[in-house]
Structure 1
Amino acid sequence: MHFIDVGQGDCTFIAANGMTMLVDCGEYEVSSDVISYLKSLGVIRLDYVVATHPHSDHMGGMARIIRVFDIGEVIIPHIPDDQLPTAVFFDKFLESCEDRGLSLTEATPGMVLELGRARAEIVSPADIKYEDLNNYSVSLLITHGSNSFLLTGDCEAEAEYAMLESDRLQKVTLYKAGHHGSSRSSTYEFLKMIRPKNAVISCGFENPYGHPSNITLKRLQEYTDKIYRTDICGNIEAESDGSTLTITCEREIK
């Protein structure tokens, strides 16, 4: 699992037994970097592309990704028609899928994606209408042997509570903190359920949002002192052999 440094955005690449998944890709401006990174790993095909929700810091460059690689399945959340964005990046994403003959799969809780010897279960979004698009984020609980990983996009408290009520969560080996470590995510109740042994935060250096929040960092520190940030560590790689987890960073934490 590679947490690719895309500044103030999100991009996670997962490879298992020859199968691949890309979850988000950051802004359009960093799409060349993401493409170069994936090609350096020898990636030709993405079996799954997950666009967690229609905000440009998560899928601004997705149209370009789709045009470069061989794509299997594209997964998106269901967004009510009156909340669909009219942004250029989203229109280009839809156009790129149409041009490549790709249909879109709407994420539903309980849907399972087989990823080699790993298993990715969609645990959010629930069938609820939210005011904030962040809460529609596609969230994945990925298991590989005894290791488990939780990716929640930009889910905030409302979506986290819905996940808790769904009874699909468990203790996790690694949690990618929701919404770049925002104070409105990684709530006390949520962390009490998942009790992460490691945490990764994707955020930009000195970003204008103050991510990650000191409040969130303190909540995470109740469960782990192994907190990795892309603004400090650069690209972060988590390698699972099914029992142990090894985390390496592009830049050493000082």
Structure 2
Amino acid sequence: MHFIDVGQGDCTFIAANGVTMLVDCGENDVSERVTDYLRELGVGRLDYIIATHPHSDHMGGMHHIIDVFDVGEVLVPHIPDKQIPTAVFYERFLDSCAAKNVPVKEAKVGQVLEIGSARAEIIAPDGGFYEDLNNYSIAFMLTHGSNKCLFTGDAEAESEAAMISGGRLDKVVLYKAGHHGSSHSSTAEFTDIIRPQTAVISCGKENPYGHPADSTVKRLERYADMVCRTDVNGTVIAESNGADMKITCEREKK
């Protein structure tokens, strides 16, 4: 798992046994950085792309990613028609998918994606109505051997409560912290269930939103031995052998 530093945004590359997945890609202006990073890893095909939700800091450059790489399929959340954005980045994403005949499918709770020796089970969104697009974020539990890792996009307290009710949560080795470490995510009840050993927060230096919130970092530190931040540590790489997890940071905390 490569938590790629894309500034104030989200981008994670996952690979196991030659099967590849990209979760979000950050803003359009960092898309070249992402494609260069993936090419340096030798990636030519992305079997799965998960576009967690239609905000530009998560998929502003997705059209560029799809133009550059061979893509198997793209998963998006179900969003009511009236709430689907008319933003240029989203229209360009759909146009690129259509031009390359890339299937765009709606993620469904309980759906499992096989990523080599790992599996990703979709646990959100639950099909309910939300005022905030963040709460439509695709969330999934990634399992590799005895290691479980949780990804929740920008899901906030409302969606986290639905995940708790859904009964698909468990203790995790790694938690990709929701909504860049916002104070509206990673609630006390939620973190008390998942009790992550490591947390990764993707955010930009001196971002205008105050991410990550001190209160959220403190909640995570109740359980996590290590809280990594892309604004401080740069790109973070987590390697699982099915039993243990090795974390490597581009930059160590000073």
Deviations 1:187-233 (A, max 9, x none): 00000110100000000001000000011011111111300000000
Taking the aligned partners of 1:251 and 1:71, their CA distance within structure 2 comes to 31
Q: Does residue 1:177 correspond to 2:154, yes or no?
A: no
Q: Does residue 1:104 correspond to 2:95, yes or no?
A: no
> SS at the partner of 1:108?
coil
Question: Following TM superposition, by how much is the alpha carbon of 1:73 offset from its aligned partner in structure 2, in angstroms?
Answer: 1.1
1:26-41 → structure 2 map (5 Å cutoff): 26-41=26-41
| Structure 1 runs, 4 residues or longer, greater than 4 Å off | none
1:1-254 → structure 2 map (5 Å cutoff): 1-254=1-254
- Structure 1: gaps spanning 5 or more residues: none
**Structure 2 residue identity aligned to 1:47:** D
Question: Following TM superposition, by how much is the alpha carbon of 1:243 offset from its aligned partner in structure 2, in angstroms?
Answer: 0.4
Taking the aligned partners of 2:103 and 2:36, their CA distance within structure 1 comes to 26
**Structure 1 residue identity aligned to 2:235:** N
Taking the aligned partners of 2:10 and 2:68, their CA distance within structure 1 comes to 19
Question: Following TM superposition, by how much is the alpha carbon of 1:103 offset from its aligned partner in structure 2, in angstroms?
Answer: 2.0
Number of equivalenced pairs: 254
Taking the aligned partners of 2:225 and 2:217, their CA distance within structure 1 comes to 10
Question: Following TM superposition, by how much is the alpha carbon of 1:42 offset from its aligned partner in structure 2, in angstroms?
Answer: 0.1
Same amino acid, percent of matched pairs: 65
Alignment check: 8 A CA contact 2:72 2:103 kept: no
- Structure 2: gaps spanning 5 or more residues: none
> SS at the partner of 1:164?
helix
Deviations 1:155-196 (A, max 9, x none): 000000000000001000000100000000000000011010
Q: TM-score, normalised by structure 2?
A: 0.99
**Structure 2 residue identity aligned to 1:148:** K
Deviations 1:17-58 (A, max 9, x none): 000000000000000000000000000000000000000000
